[in-house]
Structures are given as structure tokens and as C-alpha cells.
Amino acid sequence: MNRTEQLAVIAEVAAGQWGMITTAQAKEVGVGAVQLLRLTEAGLLESVSRGVYVVTAAGMPRHQDIKAAWLRLMPKEFAWDRPAGHLDSGVVSHASACLLHELGDIPAPEVEISVPRRRTTTEPFVRLRTAVLEGDEVTVVDGLPVTTPLRTIADLLRAKADGGHVGGVVAEAERRGLVDLDVLGDRVRPYARKYGLKATATGRDLVDHLVAQAGESLRRHELDRASRKGFADALRFLVSRPELAPYLVHHEALNVLGGGGSYRIEGETGDLPENTEG
């Protein structure tokens, strides 16, 4: 194959792998190490990790380090052929999963991948964790298998990650509707003592404790505060304009009936808005 043909077969593989290809995959499609080196010297490929290249024209993919590390776990297997649950495959987890889910601001100096059996790696910034995952604990983000937000939070607590950072992850996940707090509470209750809570603490106690550490608030707390503020504002208004109380009561009755109304007090006239609720 000439250079154009070599690049074409590489690009075809890379198109399904975020613009990336491993040395072993390139060999599978007929492009050897020497040819990869020449394509790199020509600026057509760029080495992004040991044994992993990106097609320059494709640009650098987001979370390139995570994707390269995942490809290296099974370097001969193309991403689309990776068998789910294979003993040599892996699932992005812990802080790396937070990056992919865009949850919180937890530090992620290493690429963390959970694998179903103990494995080692010579990559200095890759950490392999041994864990057997259930099917409902894995989702797909940008083509990568990733632990779900629920499993990710549980993994972080099991690993004794910083409470404030985990609290930020929890708050963001709850605001985006990615976790059910009751289910999360049941799942994380065993870790309450690790974070200084009493033996009698519930999982929800731990969740609230972590979120408070993060200086965040849960959506239900924000809604409660908004409701209380609205009620307090209404009370202050009635104190300042007590003569409007009968008309506000009348307005509420009209809302229930689906109509509008008006008021006239001491020369003031105004329309009461029609009920726009369904």
C-alpha cells in the first residue's frame, strides 16, 4: 500500500474510535509499525499514548487520555467489537466517570477504569480497579462504557474520596435528575461511618452531610426555600396592604373557577389575572 492507501484504511478504523487507532489494530488492517512511524513523521498521525495514534485531520478527541487507556486494555479489538463483560475489557469509573458525566469538579489526575479481574498496567497515569459490575450499573457516554452516576457515587465513597467533592457530584446528579435520593441513600448507607457519622445515621443523613460539605444544596432544598420565600413575601405584602386581603381571597376563588377579576380600592383599579394554570 502506498501512503494514501495506508492512511485511508487507518482513517476508516479511526472513524469509529474517536479518530484513534492502536498499533495492534493498524497491524490487523495491514499497516505496520514502520509505516505508522513514517505517517507520524509526515504529520498525518500523532502519537497520543504508547501504542495509540490519532489521525491528525480528525483533531484531538475530548477526554483523549481516557479513550486511549480504554483502547489499550484490548489493543487488538476494535471498539465496536468489544464484548460486553469480557474479562480483559473495562468500564470507566470513579473520578474519570465523573469527567465523562460532567458531574462536580472532583480531581482526576489518573484515568480510572474498573476491570472484572485483577490486572496491572505500566501506564503511570492509569489506575485499574477490580470490580464486577452488573448490567444496570453501566451506561455509555461518548461511545465509552461508563459506570452510572449511582454506581459512580458509591464507588467514590467506597474509595473514601473527599467528602466535599463527592457532595458536589451528588448535588449536580440530583439537580439533573440522574439519581433518586432514596435509592442513593440505601446504596451509600454502609459508608456513613467512614465520613464521621454515627452508627445510627441513615444513607440520607450521609447524602445531606456530603452536600453540606460541598457548600451545595439539593433541588428539594432549593424548592423548599423558594416556597418559603414566596410565602414570606406574600405575608409582607398583606401586612403592608391589609385592605387587599379580601380581594386576594376573591382572586384565589376565581382561579379555582378558571376566571379573572378586578379590584377597586380608594380610587385604585386593577385587573386580577386570569388563571393560566391547566
126 φ/ψ angles, rounded to the nearest 5 degrees: -120, 130
pLDDT range class, residue 221, cuts 50, 70, 90: very low
| Residues facing 270 on adjacent strands | 263
What SS3 state is found at 229?
A: helix
- Band (163; pLDDT cuts 50, 70, 90): very high
Rounded Cα–Cα distance for residues 208 and 156 (Å): 16
Q: What is the pLDDT of residues 84-143, one digit of tens each?
A: 777 778 999 999 999 999 999 999 999 999 999 888 888 889 999 999 999 899 999 999
Q: In whole angstroms, what is the distance from residue 151 CA to residue 147 CA?
A: 6
| Residue 113: strand pairing partners | 92, 128
Alpha-carbon gap, residue 55 to 31, rounded angstroms:
14
DSSP symbol at 183: H
Q: What's the pTM value of the predicted model, to 2 decimals?
A: 0.77
CA distance 93 to 123: 17
**Residue ranges of the chain assigned to CATH 1.10.10:** 3-61
**DSSP class of 116:** S
The CATH class for the domain spanning 3-61 reads mainly alpha
Q: All 3 cell numbers of residue 183? A: 435509592
Coil vs helix vs strand at 158: helix
Alpha helix stretches (DSSP H) within 42-93: 64-73
